[in-house]
């Protein structure tokens, strides 16, 4: 009986951990979706300028890192927020902003010309809380 309860408790704890970790990024996407006008898949429009929108998102969900190249690139720049499981890009669109939400590799590739000099490429699981690739490979002969 004792073994059965331990197995059930262990299974419950593993399931709870998987749900809590697997949901990383869902809260940001959900909040952005409620606050801004959806114009496409994981794409939103805001009436405020990029820095204002990015600051609001960052106040609600503290990013691992933030790249703001608006001063350098002007209307071709943007503000890019890096989270463990996603990248939020906020770029100028008329008087407002265009907001995109991507998985780590997609966002890194989309905005490489803006963030590639500062961010390392994400691992298969995104980045950890320190901004380091969460999985760097492995297997026979790795690290040689």
pLDDT tens-digit readout, 90-144: 999 999 999 999 999 999 999 999 999 999 999 888 898 777 776 555 556 555 4
Distance, CA of 28 to chain centre: 8
Question: What is d(CA 21, CA 26) in angstroms, rounded to the nearest whole number?
Answer: 10
Confidence at residue 88, expressed as pLDDT on a 0 to 100 scale:
98
pLDDT of residue 124: 84
Per-residue model confidence (pLDDT) at position 136: 52
Tell me: the pLDDT tens digits for 21-78? 344 467 899 999 999 999 999 999 999 999 999 999 999 999 999 999 999 999 999 9
DSSP 75-134: GG--EEEEETTEEEEEEEETTEEEEEEE-HHHHHHHTHHHHTTTSPPPBTTBB-TTSSBS
Q: Determine the pLDDT at residue 121.
A: 92
Indicate the pTM of the whole model: 0.75
Choice between 6 and 64, residue whose per-residue pLDDT is larger:
64
What's residue 19's pLDDT? 38
Distance CA 47, CA 93 (A): 9
- Res 81: pLDDT: 98
């Amino acid at each position: 009986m004792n073994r059965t309860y331990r197995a059930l408790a262990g299974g419950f704890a593993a399931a709870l951990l998987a749900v809590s970790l697997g949901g990383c990024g869902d809260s940001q996407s959900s909040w952005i979706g409620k606050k801004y006008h959806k114009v496409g898949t994981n794409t939103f429009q805001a009436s405020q300028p990029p820095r204002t929108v990015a600051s609001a998102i960052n106040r609600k969900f503290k990013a691992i890192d933030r790249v703001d190249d608006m001063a350098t690139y002007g209307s071709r720049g943007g503000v890019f927020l890096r989270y463990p499981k996603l990248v939020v890009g906020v770029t100028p669109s008329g008087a407002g902003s265009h907001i995109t939400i991507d998985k780590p590799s997609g966002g890194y590739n989309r905005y490489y010309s803006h963030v590639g000099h500062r961010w390392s490429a994400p691992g298969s699981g995104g980045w950890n809380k320190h901004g380091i690739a969460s999985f760097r490979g492995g297997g026979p002969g790795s690290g040689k």
